Structure 1
Amino acid sequence: MQNRKQLIHAAADAIHKYGIRGTTSARIQELSGLSRGMVNLHFGSKEKLLLAVAEELSARYARQWKAIADNPEFGPADKLISIIKADFDPLVLNARDVAIWFSFRAEALSNPHIFPFIDSRDKGFRAVIQDLLKQIESEGEYEDIDAKLATDALIALLEGLWTDYHLHSEIFNPEEALKICLYVLQSMFPKHFVTQSFHM
């Protein structure tokens, strides 16, 4: 198990340094300190090891928002704000992991096995956001609100902010990113977000 984790970590480091296509078995071996045979022993091939890296990134991201969504002590607005804050948490939003994420995205169309792990948020995430917005819509008796369109808008905004981080990580401000998201939510659901704190 330890060797397996070590190989996944080394492969992730290699992708960060060299990109997907520059990540060779030799480079993974060098970074891991393990023999080439270990890749085949634990994964069967380098391609399956790279897929395991994508799966690990996806799982780490999902653990963040699922823990919040399942918390019975939070109301829908608090859950939504907490999920947005988690999107800017260094645990998932850091230069190394985001660079790896975008490297996988560059290969997604030519490798359908990768696509489910790096799609624009999976169906589960989208369903949770839409359900929270429907609850907020019902609580506030908002008229002319389309929860699906609001979900699409919020996810597109988060995607754009991740791209901005990827390109400008040295000047990206998570607190400012949170303010942008809450500003948009305020425009749609003013009864729920007008008094919310804008701090991470």
Structure 2
Amino acid sequence: MRLSLAENRTRIVTPSNAREVSKSKNRIHLLECAAQAIHKFGYRGTTTANIQQLSGLSRGMINLHFQSKENLLLALAEDLSERYASNWQKVLLDTEVSPADRLLGLFRADLSPEVLNERDVAIWFAFRSEVSAKPEYKKHIDSRDATFRASLIEICSALKDEGGYSQANPVLAANCVIALLEGMWTDFHLHSADFDRGKAEEACVYMVRSFFPDHF
């Protein structure tokens, strides 16, 4: 049931709701400042003190929302993972779009500034460098995400059936897509100033054309 404007206004200004909104904003702000800290100081150079300085919030506020800096950084890894997943899911899981266009959409989404930008990529690699010591990060930065891979295999299988590509191997094609995108992210991380998104997308299309020539 929709609320009337008056009812909605009343709900918005209640003290309890105002506190919840404030808590949510502070939590998001701390995640953002933790991201800034890792980008600026690196993972091991990130301290509670410099997160405090960037955020303007107290140590107590960090403890209130996350209990510790370690939990805050884990929450940041989770947040990055969720935003990345949302980015590809909008494309790969859209069954109203043809398999070929879903694959092309994935290339554009994965190479877009929304996820492929200097700060976020630096954070991804910072977390990856800590996986041996902190294995809890792995599920959030693993390029072998089971749902992502299964979606790619399903699309490649559909392309094989549509084109009658008897020699095409959907699992191998999906693995090649994952490996190539992983390589593109590494290249961007090391050479962001010279990285050409258009040429990167061309390389991805060139590769899948070897599996599905009539589609690409």
Q: Same fold (TM over 0.5)?
A: yes
What is the DSSP-based 3-state SS (H/G/I as helix, E as strand, rest coil) of the residue aligned with 1:85? helix
* Structure number, greater radius of gyration: 2
Structure 1: which amino acid aligns with 2:116?
Answer: L
1:12 is aligned to 35
Normalising to structure 1: TM-score of the pair?
0.94
Cα separation, 2, equivalents of 1:95 and 1:48: 24
2:20 is aligned to none
Distance 1:120 1:70, change over 3 A: closer
* 1:151 aligned onto 2:138: no
Residues 61-87 of structure 1: per-residue CA shift (max 9 Å, x gap): 111111112323311110011011100
Superposed displacement of residue 121, structure 1: 4.1
Superposed displacement of residue 150, structure 1: 1.0
* 1:33 aligned onto 2:56: yes
Cα separation, 2, equivalents of 1:120 and 1:161: 12
Superposed displacement of residue 124, structure 1: 1.0
* 1:192 aligned onto 2:215: yes
What is the DSSP-based 3-state SS (H/G/I as helix, E as strand, rest coil) of the residue aligned with 2:136? coil
Cα separation, 2, equivalents of 1:154 and 1:110: 29
2:72 is aligned to 49
Gaps of 5+ in 2: 1-23
Superposed displacement of residue 146, structure 1: 1.3
Residues 43-74 of structure 1: per-residue CA shift (max 9 Å, x gap): 11110100111111111111111111232331
1:172 is aligned to 195
Q: Which runs of 4+ in 1 moved over 4 A?
A: none
1:84 aligned residue (84, 91, 107) = 107
The alignment of Structure 1 onto Structure 2 pairs a total of residues equal to 193
Structure 1: which amino acid aligns with 2:61?
Answer: M
Residues 10-38 of structure 1: per-residue CA shift (max 9 Å, x gap): 00000001111111000000001100011
Cα separation, 1, equivalents of 2:131 and 2:185: 17
Structure 2: which amino acid aligns with 1:109?
Answer: S
User: Is 2:78–2:140's contact at 8 Å kept on the other side of the alignment?
Assistant: yes
Task: Name which of structure 1's ranges 68-77 and 101-110 shifts more when overlaid on structure 2.
Answer: 68-77
* 1:63 aligned onto 2:76: no
